[in-house]
């Protein structure tokens, strides 16, 4: 199963932190790649720094100019394109009916407004509640449904730091590579 | 089941959008209340505006000065206090072992740094992956585990706008109250 994210509609400064959260969730939950529009290069440094400290999982960032090319190329190669939006059908209803047998999924995650074409060009529009909240939360829930909770148990390679899960405090192991 | 959120460590401007996302997720996913520190009153207007358009679900915001009082009062009244942190034990392991029979849960959601006392004063520290990502994503997953997906099917009262879920576009019903 290969899942990529297409992040759309980032507004500089205003969305910096939320876009960083989207990228970090994509990385932490085991996506292969995130395509981003309208961001500056600093997001790559942020992820490189996190990888350096917490380990690698073959996660890539590609900054793109034309999101439509990404979407169309994905469809042409047989990938499923799913737009996450509060206007879509319930994520759980969707995955009950649509088998997860497509091993390539592109998830589109917008900021506040996305071009109306996105609704039409995507194969499906799915929602994580029909209330307004957070594209970060919505992405996390959709990835959870795709990976069935296994996204919370991934092992990252060559970390400098590794957490020893603890119910009462902070335990971090420093690893000499 | 009554779930409240305690949002800690908001830094003005820098965390404005992420704190808004935390509050919106708490509202959309059916929490009863959010306690917030260090925020200005504008968050109340944001939520009031969302309620006005998308409906009500008895969700409250309380801006507090002393987070420790909130935590201790909650414990004194028999509530369970759970701190969500990347250093904690896996959320799914936690809910497998700890029955959700406590009908009052306070979830603590920090911004980048939280005081070390939070780890000790909480009943449990639980994680949504041991990788750094987003407290918004982490909160969503924990609420999902508590409410078993029902948080995505809530019905809000007296909305002005109601979405008709659609796989291909935007369908919104305007409701005359």
Could you tell me the CA-to-CA distances from B20 to A73, A104, A122, A165, B12 in Å, in that order? 35, 33, 28, 29, 12
Answer whether 0.95 is exceeded by the pTM: yes
pLDDT at position A97 over 90: no
Determine the residue of chain B that is closest to A14 in CA distance. Answer: B17
Could you tell me the CA-to-CA distances from B136 to A74, B5, B45, B96, B162 in Å, in that order? 28, 12, 20, 23, 24
**How far is the C-alpha of B156 from the C-alpha of B88, rounded, in Å?**
33
Tokens of A86: 């509060």
Mean pLDDT, range B59-64, rounded to an integer: 96
Inter-chain CB proximity B137 and A25 less than 8 Å: yes
Of the candidates A84, A18, A50, the one whose C-alpha atom is nearest the C-alpha of residue A156 is A50
Sequence-distant (≥ 6) Cβ neighbours of residue B150 within 8 angstroms: B30
Q: Is residue B83 within 8 Å of residue B126, measured between CB atoms?
A: yes
Q: What is the pLDDT of residues A116-152, one digit of tens each?
A: 999 999 999 999 999 999 999 999 999 999 999 999 9
pLDDT at position B12 over 80: no
Q: Which residues in chain A are closer than 8 Å to B22, comparing Cβ atoms? A: 134
pLDDT at position A33 over 90: yes
Highest mean pLDDT: which of A11-15, B5-9, B102-106, B156-160? B156-160
Of the candidates B67, B20, B28, the one whose C-alpha atom is nearest the C-alpha of residue B45 is B20
Q: What is the pLDDT of residues A38-89, one digit of tens each?
A: 888 899 999 999 999 999 999 999 999 999 999 999 999 999 999 999 999 9
Q: Is residue B142 within 8 Å of residue B93, measured between CB atoms?
A: no
Mean pLDDT, range B36-63, rounded to an integer: 94
Burial class (CB in 10 A: 0-12, 13-18, 19+), A46: middle
Confidence at B102, pLDDT banded by 50, 70, 90: confident
- What is the pLDDT at residue A99? 66
Of the candidates A148, A152, A140, the one whose C-alpha atom is nearest the C-alpha of residue A18 is A140
For chain A, give percent helix, strand, coil, nearest 5.
35, 25, 40
Determine the residue of chain B that is closest to A167 in CA distance. Answer: B125
pLDDT at position A177 over 80: no
How many CB atoms are located within 10 Å of the residue B10 CB?
20
pLDDT at position B103 over 90: no
Of the candidates B130, B18, B91, B89, the one whose C-alpha atom is nearest the C-alpha of residue A50 is B130
- In chain A, the domains with their CATH numbers are 2-174 (3.40.1280.10)
**How far is the C-alpha of B20 from the C-alpha of A130, rounded, in Å?**
17
What are residue A128's phi and psi, to 5 degrees? -115, 85
Inter-chain CB proximity B124 and A171 less than 8 Å: no
Of the candidates B165, B143, B134, the one whose C-alpha atom is nearest the C-alpha of residue A86 is B165
- What is the pLDDT at residue B9? 80
Choose the closest CB to A134 out of B54, B136, B172: B136
- What is the pLDDT at residue B39? 85
**How far is the C-alpha of A87 from the C-alpha of A66, rounded, in Å?**
24
- What is the pLDDT at residue A40? 84
Please report the DSSP string for B40-81 in residue order: -THHHHHHHHHHHHH-B---EEEE-S-HHHHHHHHHHTT-EE
Choose the closest CB to B88 out of A17, A166, A172: A166
DSSP A8: E
- What is the pLDDT at residue B77? 94
Q: What is the pLDDT of residues B109-158, one digit of tens each?
A: 998 789 999 999 999 999 999 999 999 999 999 999 999 999 999 999 99
Confidence at A102, pLDDT banded by 50, 70, 90: confident
Tokens of B104: 């009052």
Any chain A CB within 8 A of the CB of B139? yes
pLDDT at position A108 over 80: yes
DSSP B98: S
- What is the pLDDT at residue A160? 98
- In which element (H, E) is residue B125 found? strand B124-127
pLDDT at position B15 over 90: no
- What is the pLDDT at residue A54? 98
Inter-chain CB proximity B119 and A165 less than 8 Å: no
| Residues 68-127 (A) with a CB less than 8 A from some CB of B | 85-92, 94, 116, 119-120, 124-127
Confidence at B100, pLDDT banded by 50, 70, 90: low
pLDDT at position A176 over 90: no
Mean pLDDT, range B27-56, rounded to an integer: 95
């Amino acid at each position: 199963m290969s899942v990529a994210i297409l992040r759309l509609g980032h507004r500089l400064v205003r969305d910096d932190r939320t876009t960083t959260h989207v990228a970090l969730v994509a990385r932490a939950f085991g996506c292969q790649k995130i395509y981003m529009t309208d961001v500056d290069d600093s997001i790559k440094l942020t992820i490189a720094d996190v990888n350096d400290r917490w380990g690698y999982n073959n996660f890539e960032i590609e900054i793109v100019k034309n999101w439509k090319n990404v979407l169309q190329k994905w469809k042409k190669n047989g990938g499923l394109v799913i737009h996450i939006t509060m206007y879509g059908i319930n994520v759980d209803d969707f995955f009950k009916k649509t088998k997860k047998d497509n091993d390539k999924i592109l998830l589109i995650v917008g900021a506040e407004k996305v071009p109306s074409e996105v609704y039409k060009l995507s194969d499906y529009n799915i929602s994580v509640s029909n209330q307004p909240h957070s594209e970060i939360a919505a992405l996390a829930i959709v990835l959870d449904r795709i990976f069935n909770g296994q996204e919370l148990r991934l092992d990252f390679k060559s970390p400098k730091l590794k957490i020893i899960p603890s119910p009462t405090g902070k335990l971090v192991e420093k690893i000499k590579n």
